[in-house]
Structure 1
Amino acid sequence: MTLAFTVLGIVAPVFLLAAIGFFWVRFGLDFDTGFVSRLAMNLAVPCLVFVALSNGEIDAKDAGRLTLATFATYAAMLAAFLALCLALRLERRTYWAPLVFGNTGNLGLPLALFAFGEAGLGYAVVVFSVTAILQFTVGVWIVSSGGTPLRALREPMVVATLLGALFLWQGWRVPPVALNALDLIGQMGIPLMLLTLGVAVARMRPTAFGTVAALALVKLAICAGIAWGTGLAFGLGEVELGVLVVQLSTPVAVSSYLLAIRYGADGEPVAGLVVVSTLLSVAALPALLAVFV
């Protein structure tokens, strides 16, 4: 029961901020989705990621093993969801990347901290950094329908992730004044993303929810199963395994919707996946945590 209330406490602000965006549009007020998404993705979220990574502390050997396991898990998930998209004739630009990449940041990080303590948070940052790198390289390549993944190296999010990972690896520390400024800017990221999500939901067609509900269930089962099997194959410890499974079982990330909008994919079903999978996580994540805690 405590875990359920904890997850609810983490998820509730997500719905509150999304509801503000939802009713903002329903009341007929203007919302420039393009401007807000650019502000979030080019400034606020990169600062958020850099601060989270540069402040992390974890043993280098454990981090290396977990990093390899995370990359291997994502490789398997990319193959599995590509096969699913082909089998169900789903538009790959719209569905493939969102089904692979979960909300390992603003949901996964605090959940790992509560369930596994400071050590768990350190491991979760490693998974989060791998997620960010892949989402803004391979994920951008998928959503933008071709080109080279190297184009993503121009993305502020990728630069921030690589720079933050370098600080984590070298044990460097950002001067307090600069860190506080970056942290303040980064705090805009999650509210901006969630407000944009609420706007998207307000503009959705109601018929979109049937398909995304089934896909959200399939995503949870496939991601949890692959992460569990890969973690065992790599010989991860109990905490590392728990973090990997929980992090990669998180719901569809809000950033997936922003990327869909930015690169011209169909944003409505992605927004539906975010909402439905997040609702599902209220019950699913405590059940997963109960196995490891």
Structure 2
Amino acid sequence: MQISIVFEQTLKLFLMIIVGYILARLDLLDQHTKQKLTKILLSVTTPFMMIDAFSDRMKTLETEGSGSVSVGMLFLVSFVFYIALIALSFIFVYAMRIPKQERRLYLFMTIFGNVGFMGFPVVQAVYGGEGLFYAAILNSVFNIFVYTYGVILMGGASGSGGSFMQQLREIPWKKLLLTPAVIGTALGVLIFVLRIHLPEVIESTCNTLGGLTSPIAMLLVGANLSGIKWKELFSNIRLSVYVVLRQTMLPLLLWLIIKPTISDPVLAPTLLLLACMPVANTTSLFATEYGGDEKLASEGIFLSTLFSLLSFPLIIWICVK
């Protein structure tokens, strides 16, 4: 992958973000519209994009021969990826001497990046269908971790999480298993494993609807950034330092693990790119649901999203040559 292509695709996404920002400032993309578009993105376009990614990958492998990485190996790599993130999150948080009352929230922000909402469009733009196929597998593992370990973390962050067993019982298994993205991924896996060839009209529909994901997601990122109170955002020095380290040092440390262990020329940089993604939107939702610091969570999302637009092309340029 030539680095010029990475920057070209990044620029396209950045321009869409600017359009979203302008639309929001002109009140053409208001709060109500953002909520509706977010639901459409998560419930409709993303699942169709997952199905299309698996179907497209299946046809590619049938034409070009078997790929270098099996689905089972991809799931294993994804689990190891998140275990490594959990280990690194403790190093980050304790090295920065984060206050105890904020520690669990910072751990959550370090582990869970915006893999689906922002990661999918970026990976698809830079590494195409194969990269998106890998990202879809990793996102399914993301859901497993966020609705298990993430719930335990944020339940404890509120100070009312109860015992470990109580927190385990509070894990929302329906949300874990029945989110549209998970259903879309599950259908995609079935299509891939069972070699199901969809009728052309259905395949075309999945491709068209899935193709809406990237522009909608980038418009929403821009619209969300329009609501930032810049002076307040940069007044939290600890958070600002954390975001810079999270968006630069964390991907570089993960790359030291990825590079010598994964030889696939698309999987390795795809994992790196996903490691560069900003704090997940789920952070704010979980902070609200479990009584965490909503303001800090929102600031972490906004600041990391803003900085990631500069950091991830730089990280890719440094690591992928």
Bin for the TM-score computed over the shorter chain:
0.7 to 0.9
Given that residues 223 and 249 in structure 1 are in contact (C-alpha distance below 8 angstroms), is that contact kept between their aligned partners in structure 2? yes
* Correspondence 1:53 to 2:54: yes
- The 5 Å alignment of 1:107-256 reads 107-113=122-128, 122=130, 124-141=131-148, 142=150, 145-146=154-155, 147-148=170-171, 150=173, 151-206=175-230, 207-209=232-234, 211-212=239-240, 214-229=242-257, 232-233=260-261, 236-237=262-263, 239=265, 242-243=268-269, 245-252=271-278, 256=280
Q: Which amino acid aligns with 1:148?
A: I
Normalised by the size of structure 2, how large is the TM-score?
A: 0.73
Q: Which amino acid aligns with 1:106?
A: P
Deviations 1:27-50 (A, max 9, x none): 244342322211111111111122
Determine the C-alpha separation between the residues in 1 that align with 2:274 and 2:256: 10
Deviations 1:158-180 (A, max 9, x none): 11112212222233222111011
Given that residues 147 and 176 in structure 2 are in contact (C-alpha distance below 8 angstroms), is that contact kept between their aligned partners in structure 1? yes
Q: Rate the CA distance shift 1:276–1:77 in 2: closer, same or farther, 3 A.
A: same
Of all paired residues, the percent bearing the same amino acid is 15
State the 4+ residue runs in structure 1 displaced beyond 6 angstroms: none
Aligned to 1:279: 310
Q: Which 5+ residue runs of structure 2 have no aligned equivalent?
A: 156-169, 289-293
Secondary structure class of the residue paired with 2:57: coil
Q: Rate the CA distance shift 1:110–1:26 in 2: closer, same or farther, 3 A.
A: closer
Given that residues 20 and 220 in structure 2 are in contact (C-alpha distance below 8 angstroms), is that contact kept between their aligned partners in structure 1? yes
Aligned to 2:320: 289
Q: Which amino acid aligns with 1:24?
A: L
Secondary structure class of the residue paired with 2:320: helix
Q: Rate the CA distance shift 1:21–1:109 in 2: closer, same or farther, 3 A.
A: closer
Determine the C-alpha separation between the residues in 2 that align with 1:149 and 1:227: 32
Determine the C-alpha separation between the residues in 1 that align with 2:240 and 2:6: 22
Question: RMSD of the TM alignment (CA)?
Answer: 3.1
Aligned to 1:116: none
Aligned to 2:41: 40
Determine the C-alpha separation between the residues in 2 that align with 1:24 and 1:126: 31
Determine the C-alpha separation between the residues in 2 that align with 1:208 and 1:98: 18
Per mean C-alpha deviation after superposition, the further-off stretch among 16-25 and 194-203 is 16-25
Q: Rate the CA distance shift 1:200–1:175 in 2: closer, same or farther, 3 A.
A: same
Residue 98 (structure 1) shift: 6.2
Deviations 1:105-126 (A, max 9, x none): 222244335xxxxxxx63x345
Aligned to 2:300: 269
Determine the C-alpha separation between the residues in 2 that align with 1:91 and 1:200: 25
Aligned to 2:69: 62
Aligned to 1:96: 108
Given that residues 89 and 110 in structure 2 are in contact (C-alpha distance below 8 angstroms), is that contact kept between their aligned partners in structure 1? no
Given that residues 217 and 277 in structure 1 are in contact (C-alpha distance below 8 angstroms), is that contact kept between their aligned partners in structure 2? no
Residue 143 (structure 1) shift: 6.8
- The 5 Å alignment of 1:6-25 reads 6-25=5-24
Deviations 1:54-77 (A, max 9, x none): 211453772233432232122111
Q: Rate the CA distance shift 1:66–1:260 in 2: closer, same or farther, 3 A.
A: closer
Secondary structure class of the residue paired with 2:85: helix
Residue 230 (structure 1) shift: 5.1
Q: Rate the CA distance shift 1:177–1:262 in 2: closer, same or farther, 3 A.
A: farther
- How many residues get paired? 276
Q: Rate the CA distance shift 1:106–1:212 in 2: closer, same or farther, 3 A.
A: farther
Determine the C-alpha separation between the residues in 2 that align with 1:238 and 1:204: 39
Q: Which 5+ residue runs of structure 1 have no aligned equivalent?
A: 114-120
Determine the C-alpha separation between the residues in 2 that align with 1:143 and 1:21: 31
Secondary structure class of the residue paired with 2:86: helix
Q: Which has the larger radius of gyration?
A: 2
Given that residues 243 and 300 in structure 2 are in contact (C-alpha distance below 8 angstroms), is that contact kept between their aligned partners in structure 1? no
Q: Rate the CA distance shift 1:71–1:224 in 2: closer, same or farther, 3 A.
A: farther
Per mean C-alpha deviation after superposition, the further-off stretch among 85-94 and 23-32 is 85-94
